[in-house]
Structure 1
Amino acid sequence: MICDAVLVGTKVVLVPYRAEHVEKYHQWMSNPLLRELTASDPLALEEEYEMPSAWHKTSVDFIYTELTFIILVRAAGRDVSSFSMAGDVNLFLKGNPGDEDPEAEAEIMIAAPVYRRQGFAYEALRLMLSYVTASSADFGQFESLEDNPPPPSPIAIKPTCLVVRISQSNTPSISLFERLGFSVVKVVGV
């Protein structure tokens, strides 16, 4: 199942958003600036605990679903539970992959200020985007940690279906996605 994937990079490890991440995530989202930058509504802690199961509803025939990973900072050793949380990376899937115009909207948040501007967001997005656009033939590229099996087969989204929506004032995010090959195709004034 895709929601069981653990993606391993040189700086970060992406793990599924689970109940053990909720309290820290909820602390982050109590910050009004982070909510503004991520266009998020405040949630009660109880609502936040409901999110992990809602965010793992992925299937081959998706209509609208979310794929969310917590970004952990990779440290010495192989015990993922000891790695620090830095943020999250999401993919919101709309439509059916067989349709002419499915859409996969990518989002990233490095919530912990100590981990910003160190390349963690770039690597996390590269891992996520490589994973969701990989064909089965490319699948061997993903490393696994000792206690975690390799991630399951990717969902093979066409790169042309990837989109991001970023506030015009969020120049660091715009720059990050441009480095990843995204380009501005539409500007909405509101």
Structure 2
Amino acid sequence: MKHDVGLKIFGERVVLVPYRREHVAKYHDWMGDAEILHLTGSERLTLQEEFEMQKTWEEDADKCTFIILNRDLYEKSADEVHSMVGDTNLFLNSNDDNHDETVGEIEIMIADKKFRRKGLASEALKLMMDYARQNLGKRKFLAKIKQDNESSIKLFERLGYKFVSKSDVFEEITLLYE
């Protein structure tokens, strides 16, 4: 999804910035981690494929992707790549049976392990949800999470998401925020 060039969404501890070309190499390094690949349900791409994927995500009107920066690191260095800790995504086309246009499918990843369990994911999710409400007309959010990703499940439940379904085929659960 195209965003204004200078778009930055500031929270207390994180800053969300649109996923751009300069972020790809570090993102690609993260996606070389077997645990991250499993928890995100992703496949390992080559660096060139990652650059191509970033370009399609940037241009696709149905996907909204932000890189999560650690605000302290960013304010000290003004270097987005150095400050990257994860990403958050929103798929704008509803995948539920009702095809409710107010629903967005949301994801979060804190890839840098030293920044996990510090409240950054919770803050980034809240910022993304606020952005989606104010700018994209989304009112409800779905999260599809690997069944064994207990910390993510607990995070979404703390934010008010409720269990909707379980898929043994995809080994994931779906939670809904209304």
**Cα pair 1:3 1:58 within 8 Å, conserved:** no
Partner of 2:117: 117
Partner of 1:170: 149
Q: State the Cα deviation string for residues 138-185 of structure 1 (Å, max 9, x = none).
A: xxxxxxxxxxxxxxxx112122xx101111111100011111111001
- The one-letter code matched in structure 2 to 1:155 is L
Aligned residue pairs total 162
- The one-letter code matched in structure 2 to 1:85 is M
- The one-letter code matched in structure 2 to 1:70 is I
Partner of 1:127: 127
Matched, 1:69 2:50: no
Runs of 4+ in structure 1 off by over 4 angstroms are none
Partner of 1:138: none
TM-score by length of 2: 0.83
SS at match of 2:146: coil
Cα shift at 1:39: 0.4
Partner of 2:92: 93
**Cα pair 1:91 1:106 within 8 Å, conserved:** yes
Out of 13, 16, 26, the position equivalent to 1:14 is 16
User: Structure 1: 5+ residue runs without aligned partners?
Assistant: 60-64, 135-153
- The one-letter code matched in structure 1 to 2:72 is A
Q: Could you say which structure has the higher strand fraction?
A: 2
Change (3 A) 1:80 1:52: farther
The higher-RCO structure (CA 8 Å, 6+ apart) is 1
CA distance in 2, matches of 1:130, 1:179: 17
SS at match of 1:184: strand
What is the RMSD of the two structures over their aligned residues, measured on CA atoms? 2.2
Cα shift at 1:111: 0.4
CA distance in 2, matches of 1:114, 1:168: 23
CA distance in 1, matches of 2:33, 2:129: 27
Cα shift at 1:56: 2.2
TM-score by length of 1: 0.78
With 70-79 and 122-131 compared, the bigger mean Cα shift is at: 70-79
**Cα pair 1:12 1:73 within 8 Å, conserved:** yes
Cα shift at 1:52: 2.4
